[in-house]
Structure formats: structure tokens, C-alpha cells
Amino acid sequence: MNSNDAVFAAESEADQELRSRNRSGPSKARIYPDRSKKSGDSSPEPFVDTEEAPLLSDGGSRRGSVESDTDSPEWFGTAELQGLPWWKRPSIFWLLPPFLLFTTAFGGIIVPKLNLILTLICDDYYADKSITNPNAGPKLLEPDDSSRCRTDEVSARVSLFILYGNLASGILSAITSPKLGTLSDRYGRKKLLVLTTAGMLVGEVLTILAAKYPESVSVNWILVGYALDGLCGSFVVGMALAHAYATDCTPPQKRNVAFGYFHACLFTGIAVGPVLAGAVIKTFKSVLLVFYIALVFHFIFIFFLFFCIPESLSKARQEAAREKHRLEIERLGPAADWINQLRSVNLLRPLKILYPTGPGSSSAVRRNLLLLAATDTITFSVIMSAMGVIVIYTHRQFGWEEWESSKFVSIVNSCRVLSLMIALPVLTRLVRGKEGTSRQRNSGSDHFDLSVIRLAILFDMLGYLGYTLSRKGSLFTLAGAVASVGGIGSPTLGSALTKHVPPDRVGQLLGATGLLHAFARVIGPTIFNGIYYATVGTFRQTVFVCLTATFGSAFVCSLFIRPHVYLEDIAPDGSPVRTNDDEEAEPMIH
């Protein structure tokens, strides 16, 4: 048995042991309470997992267990959140306002940081080249002196510096993202969100120090900031933890809307942040002031996390996850020793959650998880790759300057936010209705999820095909507005993924997707920028043809995802958990 099989076996045995313990009586840390018997019924009741989801009522294949102390199909969170005072009841609306500050700070410093790095490296270049020449000495943050930095030598140094920074942040984020996601299952989402924000905050402090004291603080300290940001998970983990928070306190059938709100915050921050940063720089003639404001926003976010926002993961579920982890370590024995783990480091090991084996799993579950993860990663990769290429392309094709590019970005992101804030919630409400939604539980992707995902990918394909064919700036902008409607697909993909695993593995699953996003963050821009570089002199629309084809591959992946399939819970005797409500259910698919 290899190490991965041992981990799977340990997890399965730990699950069964926890359930066996829980059957013996109530426990404060229990996630899987016994189902109370109906009065007058002396027959033994099957063990029931309160964390699992019920079956949808729209037919199709059913699988998994149902939970409740009554016959009503309640989502586990309904009982868990009842009785809490309003200020202790977790909700996405606690997190959304401060999260918007978080994303605004993230979006606001992107361009100023690049320009600041350019200026610092330019100053270092001329200082190294001619220390005795006062005209080449350090002249930090002097906008009138920017023309001297527009040389091939300086551009090459800046490009290499940014490459090192992105590699440091991306690779370290790929290593730590799955670990941080799993830790959030055991210690709560808020603590890990604080850690992620702190990593970004320290990186900005180092940037400020390098800009303010260039004689004593080398520009290379900004690379240390990139590395610390990656170690703390970077923005990828921040987004994943926000999704995990929403998963904890939102019924499965409303999660696509909840995730959509967080994506709307992201794109609002990316759209509004640069505009606000530009206004601050223009008004106060200070680049560093933008970084100070970003620090304030991050401190406010951390303050809200500590003192205002309720934790979404209850103490009982945290304790149960820690107990399960302890049992896994015990069952692995010496193989769990950290020295042995270092000897067999496998960067891809966290992706095992996407290929579960053993009791409760099936080929359909594995196929769904792999296809959903592949579709999500492809979509994220294109989003990360396209914007930089689009800015360069429009400058060359249409002669757009900063104003035209800013207007394009504003229009596209505004359309995306409207799609996420209005179109997706309205569509969900019309299809699923308001009543009874909170009483539904996990049952894998349903037909509505899959329809939204496929429709979103089609809009993306049409938009990027429009980019390929457009020869006028107005038509190019229209194509961007069409592509922005595809933004409803990303939150629906994340929501669909969380419906395939038990709640105590949501953090682990989102950590694995964070690992894939970290890879996509490095690989995607490298590939597509390389394509543009190689074809700009012949057929410069080639990169958009490739991006359209990439969405086509994502659409093909989505066609093979099956509805109503998810990781099934298994009772201690090894049989699928079924209740009286399932007697008329269709046979399970394997």
C-alpha cells in the first residue's frame, strides 16, 4: 500500500470510528448525532449523518444519506444556527462589507506597485551604471523623470523581477494553500483569513520601506514580501476561505448566489481600486499614500474578523474535525511522522480529495470532481491570463491609451458585477423559488447548476470569439460585455464542488482548488503571453483563438458531469446510510 492509499484508508477508518463513538451517546463535539426514533417504533434506526445532504426532489439518481431528527429534509445548518442571537449568527452579509475593503485594497495597489517597482529598479540600474553622474542617481517617485526608465535594459530587469516575484508567491501559495484550507476545517475560517490578510499586509509594509528608504532597504525586500504573501496563501486562499465561510452558513441551493456576491466584491475591487488609487495619486501627488490606505483597509478587515464577524464553523464541528485528524494520525502511525512526510513530499498530494477511494466513493463521484475542478481551473486560468494580453493588444490594435483601457476595464467589470449581483440571484430565485430552499441539503450538482455552468462558458466563448473578430474598439468593448456574463459560471462551479463532499472536508476541497488556482496563476499567463509574443507580428488575434478553444475544452468537460452524485457516507457496518425517506429512492449509481 502506497502513502496515498494509506491516507485514504486512515480517513475512512477515522470516519467510521467517529461515527461508532457518536452512536454511543451525545457528545459536545459531535457532528453525527443519532436520529431519534418515532414514538412507538421499537425497531432500530439506521445511523444518520447530520452533515450530509438530502436528495433533491426533481428525480434523477439519488445517493448519499439524509439527516434530521425529524422527517423534514432540513439542511444541517438550520438546526445549528437556530437559537443563536443575531450578533453571533454567521452570515455572508457580516463578511461582505469588510471583504469589499479587502478586495479594493488588493485591486488598488496592483498598478501603483508595478510602477513603484519600475521606478526603484530604474534608480538602482542608473546608480549601478554611473554613481558619479548626478543625473543618473536615485530620484525616487519623480514623475517628470519617468522617460529615462523607458529602455530595453530597465524593462528587462523589471520583467525578470516581476517573474521572480510571481514565481515565489505562486509556488509557495501552491504549497501552503491546501494546508491552510485543511487547517480551516479544524480551527475555523476567521483565524486563517486573518493569517492570509496579515501576509498581504506585511508585503505592503516591506514595499513602503523599500520605497521610503531606498538607500538602506533594497528593492529585493519586495521579493521577500511576495514570498511571505505566498506562504500565507496569497489572495487565492483569501477567496477560497471566503467561499468556505459562505458554505458553512448558506444552504447548498443558495451557495451559487453567495459565491457570486464574493466574486462581485472581487471584480468591484479590481474595477474601483485602480480608479481610487489613481485619484489619490493625482490629488495628493503621492504613490505611497495608496499603500498606507491599503494598510488601513487591511487593518479594518482584521479588526472586523476579530471583533465583529461571527465564526461560521461551530466549536463542535471544529472539535470533531480535530478529533478525526487525530485518529488519522494514530492510524498512520510512524508514517505520520513529519520527517517521513518530508522524505516523501508530494506537492500534488492534496489533490487526492478530488479522487476519493474506498467506501462511499464511486467512479461517478471521482469523474464529477475531476471534471468540475478542471473546468474551474481552466476558467480561472483564462481570467488571470486574458487581462494583461487584452491591455497590450488594444494598445497595439486600436491605439488605446490609459483612458480608453480604463474605460474598457470599467465597462467589462461593471457588466460582470451586474451579472453576479442581479442576473444570477434573479435566475436562481425564478428557478428554485424562495420557499423551502433553506431546507435542502447537499446532493451534488443539480440540473440548474450544470445549466448555469454551460451557459456561462458559452457566453465566455462568444465573447472571446468576438475579441478575435472585432476590428473596431466599440465592437471589442461589446465582446467584453458579452464575455462578462460568463462570470456567473465561476461561483456556480465553486458551489457545485462543495456539494460533492461532506462539510468537514470543504476546507480541504477548497484548499485543493486553491492549489490548482496557484498553478494556473503562474502557468496560464506564461503560456498565453508567450503565444501573443510569438504571433503578434503575423496574426495577433491568435491568442484569442486559443482562449476561445480553451473555453471550448471547458465546455466539453462540463458535458460529462452527472447530476445528483456526491461522496456518500457509510455507516460503521460498511453499508450506505439510508433512512425511511429513501425507501422509494432510485438505485444508487456507481
- Residue 350: its pLDDT value, please? 76
Q: Taking residues 578-582, what's their average pLDDT?
A: 37
Rounded CA-CA distance 418/422 in Å is: 5
pTM: 0.69
- Residue 434: its pLDDT value, please? 65
Q: How confident is the model at residue 3 (pLDDT cuts 50, 70, 90)?
A: very low
- Residue 55: its pLDDT value, please? 32
Tell me which of 552 and 74 has the higher pLDDT: 552
For residue range 119-146, list pLDDT tens digits in order: 888 888 887 776 655 554 444 444 445 5
For residue range 253-286, list pLDDT tens digits in order: 788 888 889 988 888 887 788 788 888 888 888 8
Predicted confidence (pLDDT) at residue 575 exceeds the cutoff of 70: no
The amino acid sitting at 95 is L
Q: How confident is the model at residue 198 (pLDDT cuts 50, 70, 90)?
A: very high
The helix (H) or strand (E) run that includes residue 176 is helix 152-187
- Residue 398: its pLDDT value, please? 86
Describe the crossing of helices 506-535 and 489-498 by its angle, rounded to 10 degrees: 150
Tell me which of 410 and 226 has the higher pLDDT: 226
Torsional sign, CA 176, 453, 360, 580: positive
Tell me which of 13 and 507 has the higher pLDDT: 507
Rounded CA-CA distance 50/321 in Å is: 14
CATH architecture of 86-334+347-559: Up-down Bundle (1.20)
Number of CB atoms found within 10 A of residue 181's CB: 29
111-125, 216-230, 371-385: range with highest mean pLDDT: 216-230
Report the candidate in 509, 491, 486 with the shortest Cα–Cα distance to residue 566: 509
Q: For 534, phi and psi rounded to 5 degrees?
A: -80, -20
Rounded CA-CA distance 100/297 in Å is: 9
Complete DSSP assignment for 555-585: HHHHHTPPSS-----B-TTSSBP--GGGTTP
The helix (H) or strand (E) run that includes residue 223 is helix 221-231
Q: Which three-class secondary structure state does DSSP give residue 491?
A: helix
- Residue 409: its pLDDT value, please? 78
- Residue 21: its pLDDT value, please? 52
Grid cell listed for 18? 467517529
Report the candidate in 391, 399, 408, 404 with the shortest Cα–Cα distance to residue 484: 408
Describe the crossing of helices 506-535 and 542-559 by its angle, rounded to 10 degrees: 150
- Residue 190: its pLDDT value, please? 92
Report the candidate in 413, 388, 382 with the shortest Cα–Cα distance to residue 545: 382
Q: Taking residues 546-573, what's their average pLDDT?
A: 81
Tell me which of 463 and 359 has the higher pLDDT: 463
Buried b / exposed e over 450-478, threshold 16 CB at 10 Å, is bebbbbbbbbbbbbbbbbbebeebeebbe
Residue for cell digits 458551489?
495
Sequence-distant (6+) residues with CB within 8 A of 277 are: 108, 109, 111, 112, 290
The amino acid sitting at 57 is S
Residue for cell digits 423559488?
433
* Residues counted in the chain: 590
Q: How confident is the model at residue 50 (pLDDT cuts 50, 70, 90)?
A: very low
Q: What percent of the chain has pLDDT over 70?
A: 73
- Residue 130: its pLDDT value, please? 63
Q: Which three-class secondary structure state does DSSP give residue 283?
A: helix
- Residue 341: its pLDDT value, please? 56
Q: Taking residues 318-343, what's their average pLDDT?
A: 71
Rounded CA-CA distance 545/178 in Å is: 33
Tell me, what DSSP letter sits at residue 39?
T
Tell me which of 147 and 329 has the higher pLDDT: 329
Rounded CA-CA distance 273/282 in Å is: 14
For residue range 357-375, list pLDDT tens digits in order: 877 778 888 899 999 999 9
50-54, 80-84, 96-100, 315-319: range with highest mean pLDDT: 96-100
- Give the CA diameter of the chain: 97
CB neighbour class for 93 (10 Å; exposed up to 12, middle 13-18, buried from 19) = exposed
Report the candidate in 349, 18, 413 with the shortest Cα–Cα distance to residue 175: 349
Predicted confidence (pLDDT) at residue 376 exceeds the cutoff of 70: yes
Residue for cell digits 517617485?
141
Q: Could you tell me if 489 and 457 are in contact, meaning their C-beta atoms sit under 8 angstroms apart?
A: yes
Torsional sign, CA 179, 96, 170, 277: negative
List alpha helices for 419-574, DSSP H.
424-432, 447-469, 473-485, 489-498, 506-535, 542-559
- Residue 13: its pLDDT value, please? 53
Rounded CA-CA distance 10/329 in Å is: 8
Residue spans of the domains in the chain: they are: 86-334+347-559
Predicted confidence (pLDDT) at residue 33 exceeds the cutoff of 90: no
499: Cα separation from own chain's centroid = 15
- The CA-atom distances, in angstroms, between 79 and each of 75, 132, 314, 490 are 8, 74, 12, 29
Q: How confident is the model at residue 57 (pLDDT cuts 50, 70, 90)?
A: very low
Q: Taking residues 58-84, what's their average pLDDT?
A: 47
Q: How confident is the prediction for the chain on average, in pLDDT?
A: 76
The amino acid sitting at 363 is S
- Residue 566: its pLDDT value, please? 76
Q: Taking residues 166-175, what's their average pLDDT?
A: 83
For residue range 478-493, list pLDDT tens digits in order: 999 999 999 898 889 9
- Residue 150: its pLDDT value, please? 67
Predicted confidence (pLDDT) at residue 513 exceeds the cutoff of 90: no
Complete DSSP assignment for 367-393: HHHHHHHHHHHHHHHHHHHHHHHHHHH
Q: Could you tell me if 29 and 323 are in contact, meaning their C-beta atoms sit under 8 angstroms apart?
A: yes
Tell me which of 399 and 35 has the higher pLDDT: 399
- Residue 552: its pLDDT value, please? 92
Q: Taking residues 557-564, what's their average pLDDT?
A: 89
Paired with 576 in beta bridges are 570
Report the candidate in 359, 338, 317 with the shortest Cα–Cα distance to residue 8: 359
Q: Could you tell me if 550 and 385 are in contact, meaning their C-beta atoms sit under 8 angstroms apart?
A: no
Q: Taking residues 390-419, what's their average pLDDT?
A: 80
Q: Could you tell me if 280 and 289 are in contact, meaning their C-beta atoms sit under 8 angstroms apart?
A: yes
- Residue 193: its pLDDT value, please? 93
Q: Which three-class secondary structure state does DSSP give residue 216?
A: coil
